[in-house]
Amino acid sequence: MSSGSPKVPSQARGERRVAELKAAAEKVFSEQGYEAATMTAIAREAGAPIGSLYQFFPNKEVLALTLMNQYLEEATALVGALRGEPPLGAAALADALIGRSAGYVKAHPAWAALGEAPALAAIKPDARAALARTVEEVLLAWLPGATRAELRPIATASWQLVKSANQMLHQLPRAEGQKAAAEIGMALAAYLRERLRVYGMR
């Protein structure tokens, strides 16, 4: 793993500069991939001196991990917000889980590029676990009769279907990906409907 950690900006000006640097990194990573991207290219994209980039991020790995952690925090919050919304039917919940996660990934194309980087492989298990836990919390409210032990495999299976739908949407041609994701959405809805039948009325 990397040595060093990102510097925490102490002033509003520094916070703005960090935001600009991360936005530039996101663009460069999404266009060039993690391996080909360089700190020089990121600084150039941000219109900043290379020294300014290194002031806040000691190396490319720390910068990429900072972005990935931000993505994970925002994505889990977006999906987790379903807990506080009015109850949904199985089909609507399946659509919401897939739509929110897919929409976030689409808005942040560097997610896919960084997710495939071997140098960042160590973060993947934690990311998968965090997303599955978020789905578990959503299902805890949706399936009040299930225990946490019962929900854990349900949440993991549900997240795998959501993840598969995302892959179809972002890896296949648009029309083909949408059709494949819709099929997965129907499979997830049927699965959730069956789980609701078993656990929802205990």
Per the CB < 8 A criterion, the answer to whether 152 and 91 are in contact is no
pLDDT tier at 1, thresholds 50, 70, 90: very low
Higher pLDDT, 173 or 122: 173
pLDDT for 127: 87
Give per-residue pLDDT as tens, 137-182: 999 989 988 999 999 999 999 999 999 999 999 889 999 999 999 9
| Alpha-carbon distance values, 188 to 59, 97, 150, 182, 195 (Å) | 40, 10, 17, 10, 10
CA end-to-end distance (rounded Å), the chain: 46
Q: Report the CATH number that the domain containing residue 184 is assigned in CATH.
A: 1.10.357.10
Report the pLDDT averaged over residues 54-61: 95
Domain that holds residue 54: 12-62
In angstroms, the CA 135 to CA 145 distance is 16
Cβ neighbour number for residue 89 with a 10 Å cutoff = 12
Cβ neighbour number for residue 140 with a 10 Å cutoff = 15
Q: Report the CATH number that the domain containing residue 45 is assigned in CATH.
A: 1.10.10.60
pLDDT tier at 36, thresholds 50, 70, 90: very high
Both tokens of 143, joined, read 């399936």
Number of independent structural domains in the chain: 2
Same domain, 91 and 36: no
Question: Taking the complete model, does pTM exceed 0.75, yes or no?
Answer: yes
Per the CB < 8 A criterion, the answer to whether 198 and 137 are in contact is no
Same domain, 31 and 70: no
